[in-house]
Amino acid sequence: MDMKYQRGELSLFWAAVIVGVVTLMAVGTLLSMHHERNLFGDAWQRARRTDAGQALQATAAQAGRDKSAAIRKCQVDGKVIYSNVECGAGNPTSRQLELQDTKGIEAPKAPPALRRSDMPESLRDKAIEKAMQR
């Protein structure tokens, strides 16, 4: 059985097209670096101003506003599970959880800076001597 055409693999033509696209993106990146501009960002801004770009942004904003399914906590086979699929209303151990949006990790506040009048004389003298020695 002699096969005449290649099957199930990437043809040489499409491999060349993919290599060409990757090369074009690499050249665009190098030119962006050379001219200190972001050509991809400029192209994205132009695409966002078109009618199709505006429609895409409106669709994405609408999709982001939809409320996701409620997360429920239940026990399945003796294990505690948090899910919106497996913990249905038919499960007697299931209960809905209230999710809270946290602010993440906040940086600690810096201690108040010492004023010159708050600094003891000995420390002030040491700082002056250290500065003079440099």
Per-residue pLDDT reduced to its tens digit, 93-110: 888 887 776 777 888 888
CA atoms of 91 and 82, how far apart (whole Å) = 13
pLDDT in tens, 59-83: 877 765 545 567 888 888 888 888 8
Establish if 105 belongs to a structural domain. no
* CA atoms within 13 A of residue 6's CA, in its CB half-sphere: 7
- If phi > 0 it is left, if psi is from -120 to 50 it is alpha, else beta; for residue 10 that is beta
CB neighbour list of residue 127: distance below 8 Å, 6 or more residues apart: 119
| 59 and 19 share one domain | yes
Q: What are phi and psi of 31, to 5 degrees?
A: -65, -35
| 16 and 58 share one domain | yes
| 92 and 55 share one domain | no
H or E element at residue 74: strand 72-76
CA atoms of 127 and 134, how far apart (whole Å) = 11
Domain interval for residue 59? 12-65
pLDDT at position 68 is 58
H or E element at residue 54: helix 51-65
pLDDT in tens, 7-57: 667 788 888 999 999 999 999 899 888 888 888 888 888 888 888 888 877
| 49 and 78 share one domain | no
CA atoms of 22 and 36, how far apart (whole Å) = 21
pTM confidence score: 0.33
| 58 and 74 share one domain | no
